Amino acid sequence: MRRVSTDMMNNDMQYWMRRREDSMASMANRMNKQERFENLRDDPLAAARSVRYDSYVGRIERYEKNVQYTLDRARISEGYMRQTQDIMQRVRELAVTGATGTFTKEDTAAMAIEVDQLLSEIINLANARGPDGDFLFAGDKARTEPFRAVQGYVAGSGGATTVGVVYIGGLGSPQAEISEEAYLPMNLPGDEVFWSERQRVAGGSDASAYRVMEASSIFIDGHEIALKPGDTVQAIVAKINDSGAAVKASLDPAQNSLVLEGTQAHRLRLEDGAGGNVLVELGILSGSGVPSDYAPAARVSGGSLFDSVMALRDALYKGDALEVGSRVLASIDAGMDNMNRRLAQAGSAMERLEMAGLRLNKEIPDATALLAAEKDLDFTKAVTEYKMLEYAHEAALRMAGRVLPSTLLDFLR
């Protein structure tokens, strides 16, 4: 049973006026944020969908930025690779000229001087940086200069010159996510781009009776290959060939030693796993712990693009036309072929990035429209509702001033 008193009308009026003021404040907040609901409980289903759409829009916008950043880097890298190919074309012209055997030793020495200068420029291109300061051909060590020139003396040069180029960059590459679970490398490993021949490493020890003594592993081009006790060299060969690394393993029929040969032009990166010495025991590595530090008895062939150019320079200094026209020219051609393959890979990656960018440009507006349909406020309707609440509130205040009972202050006037 409800009690009727002089305070009842006043309390009821205050209650409904506060309810209306709360509705007006809620509507004002929605208009300020331009969102259809203020709290998740206002429309749980729409709120859940808007959260998912908002997350998706944020992800594809991030993918679009990744695509553009990676595409810009790829274009810059391709430019440096094309410049290298142009220089190598000039190097090849000098090699063909020097292989004719019609020039004096002084003439070929003059060619060697030009080759040496071209070598320095190729090293500069290989150590090129992007606009952000990262090295383009350093793999996953983007802040480390990938190639280090070793200075020494070459007969006929008349001074110190480059006698070796060591790659100290990374093996892999940081990955840019360009779509859901789709990744592309952001940097190119220099020991793949600036290489001439397929590298071949033959162990210096007889492995016919070799057995793995304890569980261990080896790493070939970043691929871990697990070995178990009792594995023979034939089992090791089979596991290497099944690992997915760009390396073919075999046994030397004459020496019975393990032979590792790349299936494409690149530097082999070999190392023993923690606690293991399999490659050391097979005469491949020296045991220093440094990756690809080969044993003195190991037979290594297949060099880099820099090795090809240095071999040409040294042969020209000696005036050895036969050497220039045979092994050196073949090595230069192999390096240029590998550079063409890498340019093709870079071009195909750029084409994919451009297609991904076009797709994302279409997806972003579509996803944003879905988000707007669930979350955005109909501003015209909101203003109308707010004005209606405001008029009702003003009318209630006027009515309250007339119908509420007189107070003690009314009698004191």
CATH number of the domain encompassing residue 84 = 1.20.1330.10
Q: What is the pLDDT of residues 190-228, one digit of tens each?
A: 999 999 999 999 998 999 899 998 999 999 988 999 999
- Residue where a domain terminates, one of 252, 280, 301: 301
Q: How far apart are CA 25 and CA 35, in angstroms?
A: 14
Same domain, 182 and 328: yes
Same domain, 186 and 240: no
Tokens found for residue 381: 């309707």
Residue 255 lies in a domain: yes
Same domain, 185 and 327: yes
Tokens found for residue 30: 């929605």
Please give the tally of structural domains in the chain: 2
Residue 150 lies in a domain: yes
Domain that holds residue 223: 200-301
Q: 343 near 81, Cβ under 8 Å?
A: yes
Same domain, 123 and 97: yes
Same domain, 124 and 177: yes
- Residue where a domain terminates, one of 342, 363, 384: 363
Tokens found for residue 353: 């990035």
Same domain, 135 and 277: no
Q: How far apart are CA 138 and CA 127, in angstroms?
A: 8
Q: 270 near 298, Cβ under 8 Å?
A: no
Coil, strand or helix: which one is 192? Answer: helix
How large is the average pLDDT for residues 121-125? 96
Taking the CB of residue 58, how many other CB atoms lie within 10 A of it? 11
Q: In angstroms, what CA-CA distances link 154 with 4, 147, 200, 317?
A: 114, 20, 26, 9
Same domain, 183 and 204: no
- Residue where a domain terminates, one of 277, 301, 325: 301
pLDDT at residue 351 in the model: 93
pLDDT at 21 over 70: no
Q: How far apart are CA 230 and CA 233, in angstroms?
A: 10
pLDDT at 5 over 80: no
Same domain, 96 and 143: yes
Same domain, 248 and 168: no
pLDDT at residue 170 in the model: 84
What's at 39, amino acid-wise?
A: N
pLDDT at 26 over 70: no
Residue 292 lies in a domain: yes
Q: How far apart are CA 28 and CA 338, in angstroms?
A: 66
Q: Where are the beta strands (DSSP E) in 186-241?
A: 200-202, 216-220, 223-227
Same domain, 123 and 154: yes
Residues in the chain: 413
pLDDT at 30 over 90: no
Q: How far apart are CA 193 and CA 197, in angstroms?
A: 11
Residue 310 lies in a domain: yes
Tokens found for residue 321: 């036309």
pLDDT grade for 120, boundaries at 50, 70 and 90? very high
Q: Are strands 182-185 and 200-202 parallel, antiparallel or unpaired?
A: unpaired
How large is the average pLDDT for residues 101-116? 91
Same domain, 227 and 157: no
Residue 408 lies in a domain: no
Q: What is the pLDDT of residues 292-320, one digit of tens each?
A: 889 999 999 988 999 999 999 999 999 99
Phi and psi angles of residue 201, each rounded to the nearest 5 degrees, phi first:
-125, 120
Percent of the chain past pLDDT 70, that is, above it, reads 81
379 backbone φψ class: left, alpha, beta (φ>0; ψ -120 to 50): alpha
Residue 153 lies in a domain: yes
Q: 339 near 84, Cβ under 8 Å?
A: yes
Q: How far apart are CA 285 and CA 297, in angstroms?
A: 9
Q: 277 near 214, Cβ under 8 Å?
A: no
pLDDT at 135 over 90: yes
Phi and psi angles of residue 32, each rounded to the nearest 5 degrees, phi first:
-65, -40
Q: How far apart are CA 86 and CA 90, in angstroms?
A: 7
pLDDT at 287 over 90: no
Residue 100 lies in a domain: yes
Q: How far apart are CA 203 and CA 261, in angstroms?
A: 11
Same domain, 287 and 321: no
Residue 12 lies in a domain: no
How large is the average pLDDT for residues 132-149? 90
pLDDT at residue 350 in the model: 92
Q: What is the pLDDT of residues 336-377, one digit of tens each?
A: 999 999 999 999 999 999 999 999 888 888 887 776 666 656
